[in-house]
Amino acid sequence: GGIRPKREWKMAALRASLLPVLALLVFALATSAAFSLSSDVAAPRLRNVVPSRCSVAMRSAAFSLRLRGGEEDEAKDVEAKEDEDDLFGDDAVEDVAAAEARKAKAAEAQEKAAGKKKEEKTAKTNVILDVKAWGDETDMAALEASVRKIEMDGLLWGASGLEEVGYGIKKLRITVVVEDDKVSIDELEEKIKEDEEHVQSVDVVTMSKI
């Protein structure tokens, strides 16, 4: 969009610099014609005046052209520098955009990896246990308290209830949620059996992944 106005400006400047030369040439031709019929005395003076004025006009035009040429060269240099700045400016913008895209992609990948790792670590299992007492005289409240006091990282006790086994003997059915990579069911059973005063046996009723 800026190329056409610059060309028009250059042509206008060139026409303006040539106007004095054309005017003097027209003046010289008209004067020569007017005095061609005059005496031979006036003719030598005319021959001296016309070339002198033409010479001055030509020098003036040449100086004007050199001045215009310098301005045009300077304008070209400025235009070239602007084009160069635009070129490198576009490259800089593209570099910044590419860097931001890479950062966003890396952050997204890192977030996905962290989420996957967290999901793998928090895999849980819901377990229902039957804890049988020794006899009908076993204190089932003390038995349940003995079970619930077991604490392990990744273990959460849930609902419980008493069920009849037979001959007045009862069992404690209790739910527990464990994190798979932190709690071993076998180890948990062994800890419950450590209460030999109340606990006869421990059985796994069901196990289901959460």
- The pLDDT tens digits for 67-99 are 455 555 555 665 666 665 555 555 566 678 888
Q: Look at residue 209 and tell me whether its pLDDT is greater than 60.
A: yes
List Cβ neighbours of 57 (8 Å cut-off, separation of 6 or more).
Answer: 20, 21, 23, 24, 25
What's this model's pTM, rounded to 2 decimal places? 0.46
The reported pLDDT for the residue numbered 163 is 96
Structure-token pair, residue 123:
């895999």
Q: How would residue 2 be classed by pLDDT, with cut points 50, 70 and 90?
A: very low
Among the residue ranges 17-31, 91-105, 121-135, 184-198, the one predicted with the least confidence is: 17-31
Q: How is the beta sheet containing 199-209 ordered, strand by strand?
A: 155-166, 169-179, 124-133, 199-209
Dihedral sign of CA atoms 196, 197, 203, 208 in order: negative
The reported pLDDT for the residue numbered 179 is 95
Q: Across residues 181-200, what is the average pLDDT?
A: 96
The reported pLDDT for the residue numbered 114 is 76
Q: How far apart are CA 84 and CA 91, in angstroms?
A: 11
Check residues 111 and 9 and name the one with the higher pLDDT: 111
Q: Look at residue 54 and tell me whether its pLDDT is greater than 50.
A: no
- b/e 113-123 (16+ beta carbons within 10 angstroms → b): eeeeeeeeeee
- The pLDDT tens digits for 146-182 are 999 999 999 999 999 999 999 999 999 999 999 999 9
